[in-house]
Amino acid sequence: MAGALLRVICPTENASFAAPTLFSLVPKNGSQVRGYSTVCSRLKFSTGVSAAASLSSLVANPPGSSEKKVYEVVLKQAALVKEQKKEKILDVITGNDQAESMTRGDLLNGAYNRCGEVCAEYAKTFYLGTLLMTPERRRAVWAIYVWCRRTDELVDGPNASHITPKALDRWEQKLNDLFEGRPYDMYDAALSDTVSKYPVDIQPFKDMIKGMRMDLKKSRYKNFDELYLYCYYVAGTVGLMSVPVMGIAPESKASTESVYNAALALGIANQLTNILRDVGEDARRGRIYLPQDELAQAGLSDEDIFKGKVTDKWRSFMKGQIKRARMFFDEAEKGVAELSAASRWPVWASLLLYKQILDSIEVNDYDNFTKRAYVGKAKKFASLPIAYGRALMHGSSKLAEPARS
């Protein structure tokens, strides 16, 4: 079943690019790029950079330029949320939010439901989590999930060996089209609708494609600054795409920037964990997603990774890497309480589940060459009530309240 679905959702290399307007139903979203330069010049990257920089300096690395670059996107996203709050009030006054036709609604429902099916097939636990969200938010997260999954499948899926930069250009053009209300297929139609309703900017989506481009041509990372940028591209972006849809609690006192920063940190933490889990698997594909300078400082070389022997040097290197990933999780945890009530539980659940992969690497005595660290079913189930408790206790509002923002 998964294989069949994969073929369906994996965008085919040969698909004609003329992007027929199969679902040209979505109004042009003209509200994507506003307020960016003002916010940037006012905040001068200060808050987020210092948070991320203090993390990266922990393991022998000076703060680098990637964090500044990424923080610009965070500020831009945060500015969009503020803009949309104003627009919503205007819509209520003018009645614009009731202007959708019935036909469009039916087609879109079908498209969203397909996104839900894909999500349920590929990410069961996460899908269950989304069921706790309001129906509107849930289907929007599904649409984002499917686009991310399809993008990842381009370079990680069964057709990955045929993927060229040109194919990614075509994928990016489809992205531009869907943001302008010209979706290519029904999954895109769902996302096109989502981005017209929520303050989601195109930049994180483009950046994810950039990450896939990077993956096509790069198999080594000189230092943590380079790795950080890669992690932002392929995973930090997911955090930035998700927050506008999951919503910030209306009663949250935190700055929008700080919530985006936490979301970014969760993406980075997840990706770093993913990398540490998959060291052996990646090495067998000739790839090493570890900072080369830190490997050298630990007295380790690429050869040691390819040999895959767990030595004291390797253990000590891994301890540092795990510590850094946990710091990003800690940074992320600060932001979950600020999300709208119904979104906190699924985010806590996914955070706790992913973080436990790090514990599992330790239990495996740092053998991530031949053993794949995983979280067993019992632990997975145990995490759900823990996540619920945290969502209930550390929140700006009670869980039972409907999300409003």
Ligand X SMILES: CC(C)=CCC/C(C)=C/CC/C(C)=C/CC/C(C)=C/[C@@H]1[C@@H](COP(=O)(O)OP(=O)(O)O)[C@]1(C)CC/C=C(\C)CC/C=C(\C)CCC=C(C)C
Q: In the set 91, 106, 156, 281, which binds Mn ion (CB under 5 A)?
A: 156
Q: CA separation (Å) from 194 to 137, 143, 245, 332?
A: 9, 7, 8, 25
In the complex with ligand X, the residue whose CB is nearer, 141 or 283, is 141
Q: What are phi and psi of 217, to 5 degrees?
A: -115, -5
The length of the chain, given as a count of residues: 405
Q: What is the DSSP string of 198-258?
A: S---SHHHHHHHHHHHHHHH---BSSHHHHHHHHIIIIIHHHHHHHHHH-B-TT--S-HHH
In the complex with Mn ion, the residue whose CB is nearer, 91 or 156, is 156
Q: Does 300 bind ligand X (CB under 6 A)?
A: no
Q: Does 80 bind ligand X (CB under 6 A)?
A: no
Q: Does 234 bind ligand X (CB under 6 A)?
A: yes
Interface segment toward ligand X; rule CB under 6 A; list 47-55, 59-67, 234-242, 380-388: 234-242
137 DSSP assignment: H
Nearest approach in angstroms of CB 299 to ligand X is: 29
- Binding mask of the shown chain, residues 321 to 340, with x at each position contacting ligand X by CB under 6 A: -----------x--xx--x-
Identify what 294 binds: Mn ion, ligand X, none; CB under 5 to 8 Å per kind.
Answer: none
Nearest approach in angstroms of CB 141 to ligand X is: 6
Q: What is the DSSP string of 321-387?
A: HHHHHHHHHHHHHHHHTTB-HHHHHHHHHHHHHHHHHHHHHHHTTT-TTT------HHHHHHHHHHH
Q: Which residue in this structure is represented by tokens 């992007």?
A: 19
- Binding mask of the shown chain, residues 114 to 153, with x at each position contacting Mn ion by CB under 5 A: --------------------------------------x-
Nearest approach in angstroms of CB 127 to ligand X is: 10
Interface segment toward Mn ion; rule CB under 5 A; list 45-53, 117-125, 155-163, 263-271: 155-163
- Binding mask of the shown chain, residues 154 to 193, with x at each position contacting ligand X by CB under 6 A: --x-------------------------------------
Q: In the set 152, 177, 188, 201, which binds ligand X (CB under 6 A)?
A: 152
Distance CA 302, CA 402 (A): 52
- Shortest Cβ contact with Mn ion: which residue? 156
In the complex with Mn ion, the residue whose CB is nearer, 152 or 201, is 152
Q: Which amino acid is at 397?
A: S
Distance CA 52, CA 29 (A): 32
Angle, helices 46-58 vs 224-231, to 10°: value is: 120
Q: Which residue in this structure is represented by tokens 């790795």?
A: 227
Distance of CA 271 to the CA centre of its chain: 9
Nearest approach in angstroms of CB 92 to ligand X is: 27
Angle, helices 65-94 vs 237-246, to 10°: value is: 20
Q: Which of residues 254-293 bind ligand X (CB under 6 A)?
A: 259, 262-263, 266-267, 270-271, 274
Q: Which residue in this structure is represented by tokens 């209306």?
A: 250
Q: Pseudo-torsion of CA 80, 83, 89, 90, nearest 10°?
A: -110
In the complex with Mn ion, the residue whose CB is nearer, 132 or 269, is 269
Write a three-state SS string for 268-319.
HHHHHHHHHHCHHHHHHCCCCCCEHHHHHHCCCCHHHHHHCCCCHHHHHHHH
In the complex with ligand X, the residue whose CB is nearer, 182 or 344, is 344
Identify what 84 binds: Mn ion, ligand X, none; CB under 5 to 8 Å per kind.
Answer: none
Interface segment toward Mn ion; rule CB under 5 A; list 154-162, 186-194, 195-203, 397-405: 154-162
CA-based radius of gyration for the chain: 21
List residues near Mn ion by CB under 5 A: 152, 156
List residues near ligand X by CB under 6 A: 126, 129, 141, 144-145, 148-149, 152, 156, 234-235, 238-239, 242-243, 259, 262-263, 266-267, 270-271, 274, 332, 335-336, 339, 346-347, 350
